[in-house]
Structure 1
């Protein structure tokens, strides 16, 4: 696979739920999305930056969604589902995967900002299609199979001062 060069077209796909829970459980802090996007792009040509977020009706979330847009992310918002037994579910795995596969024909590199091992099969597929796959996540909460399936892995924990607010 190719290395990084300035003419590469890049899509950055951020799994906001996964990043949020990892940053909270490991550091009790939030992600600096402008730094995340800057490092994901690394001076290359940004084609799309999409943040996948869940609306859970918490008071500060609308300002967070607005901040993501100001930074340069498109936001895809899904409402949390509450089931009869009180359990809640919302994830973007299928949506993120479909977007990545759709974007594969238009980019050279897909940067997945997540630690979710469910994306390892997606990485293998994208690489088979000739797309470079880079993963950014916290090593403590990133599945080994995801790291192994990607072309590169950037450990946000090693640079927590950069990537956390």
Structure 2
């Protein structure tokens, strides 16, 4: 696999739910999405940046969605589902994977901003297709399977002052 160089076309896919819960549980802080996007792109050519978010009807979420847009992220929003037993579920694993596979022929690098091990199979597929796969998340809450399946990993927890608000 190639290293980073300025001609690479990059797609950044951010699993906002995963990042939020990791940042909150470990640091009780929020992600600095501007710093996240800057580091993910690293002076390469950004093709698309997508943040996958969940609408949970909290008062500040519309401001958050607008802030993501202002930073440069396209937002894909899914409503949280509440089941009859009261449990709630909302995740973007399938949507992120489909977007990554669709974008693979248009980019050289996919940066997955998540620690979710469910994406390890996607990473193997993308790498088989000749796409460099990078991940960014908090190593303390990142799946070993994901770490083993990417070309490079950036631990957001190693640079709290950069990546946390």
Q: Deviations 1:10-59 (Å, cap 9, x if unpaired)?
A: 00000000000000000000000000000000000000000000000000
Aligned to 1:151: 151
| Cα shift at 1:89 | 0.2
Given the alignment of the two structures, is residue 74 of structure 1 paired with residue 71 of structure 2, yes or no?
A: no
- Distance in 1 (CA, whole Å) between partners of 2:119 and 2:160 is 23
Aligned to 1:112: 112
- Distance in 2 (CA, whole Å) between partners of 1:10 and 1:62 is 27
Task: State the aligned residue count.
Answer: 165
- Distance in 2 (CA, whole Å) between partners of 1:36 and 1:147 is 18
- Distance in 2 (CA, whole Å) between partners of 1:40 and 1:57 is 29
Structure 2 gap ranges (5+): none
* Aligned-CA RMSD value: 0.2
Q: Deviations 1:47-88 (Å, cap 9, x if unpaired)?
A: 000000000000000000000000000000000000000000
Moved beyond 6 Å, runs of 4+ = none
Structure 1 gap ranges (5+): none
User: 1:33-48, aligned counterparts within 5 Å?
Assistant: 33-48=33-48
